Amino acid sequence: MTTPLLRTALLAGVLAGLALPAGAGSVDKGRTLYLNNCLVCHGMPPDQLSNPSVLAGTDAPANIRHAINSQVQMRHLATLTDTDLANIATFLGKPSTTDADRTFDWGETAYPELLAPAKAKSAVYDGYYYRYYSTTNVYIGIKNGRLYFLDGNVPGEPLDLAPADYYLGQAEAAGF
């Protein structure tokens, strides 16, 4: 069993060494884009697409681009960027989740000894969207776009680890 301080250093150190992969999609950004650009024709929940399989896997953004280029009614959406389409595709693949929960779910599999037991329930406190892990007595939370870590065994403020998007990229790359 490592000491609490060592655990904190470990988490910060390991996570800080990872780079954000290209093409990571955000469910939350994708949801906003979908609501503003697609909802009017394709409905909510997004079940109106005639062929849901075009939205599966890494081809999904290209398939949306194809629809924009080939469907007269979608031509006005040509200004959406590839990043926009990646975010929309990510949302369409996981419409019922949030970026924070994807990040936490990934963290539980990447750091099972630290974030235990897995499948902790998300909750809100003081602007944090967070999960508490009763076995290890630690918290992870997101507030104002930053990811925080708090070790309940050590007095002090939550530790600001990095931008939440940074970890979201890891979650996305790992399929969450």
Question: Rounded to the nearest whole angstrom, what is the least distance from the CB of residue 94 to ligand HEC in the complex?
Answer: 14
42 binding ligand HEC? (CB under 6 A): yes
Q: Interaction with ligand HEC in 83-142: which residues (CB under 6 A)?
A: 88
Unique residue bearing structure tokens 């329930």: 121
CA dihedral 33, 37, 41, 46 (to 10 degrees): 0
User: Is residue 71 a contact residue for ligand HEC (CB under 6 A)?
Assistant: yes
- 10, 18, 20, 54: which one binds ligand HEC (CB under 6 A): 54
Q: Which listed residue (1, 22, 40, 78) binds ligand HEC by CB under 6 A?
A: 40
For residue 122, the 8-state DSSP code is E
CA quadruple 22, 25, 29, 34: dihedral positive or negative? Answer: positive
Interaction of residue 64 with ligand HEC, rule CB under 6 A: yes
Give the residue ranges of DSSP H helices in 25-160: 27-37, 39-42, 60-70, 82-93, 99-110
147 binds ligand HEC (CB under 6 A): no
Q: Which is nearer to ligand HEC, 37 or 103 (CB)?
A: 37
User: Under 8 Å CB-to-CB from 114, ≥6 apart: which residues?
Assistant: 7, 10, 11, 133, 136, 138
Q: Rounded distance, CA 111 to CA 58, Å? A: 26
CB 65 within 8 A of CB 134: no
* Least CB distance to ligand HEC at residue 141 (A): 32
Among 50, 58, 79, 81, binds ligand HEC (CB under 6 A): 50
By CB under 6 A, name the one of 10, 67, 116, 162 that touches ligand HEC: 67
Chain residues in the site for ligand HEC (CB under 6 A): 37-38, 40-42, 49-51, 54, 63-64, 67, 71, 73-74, 77, 80, 88
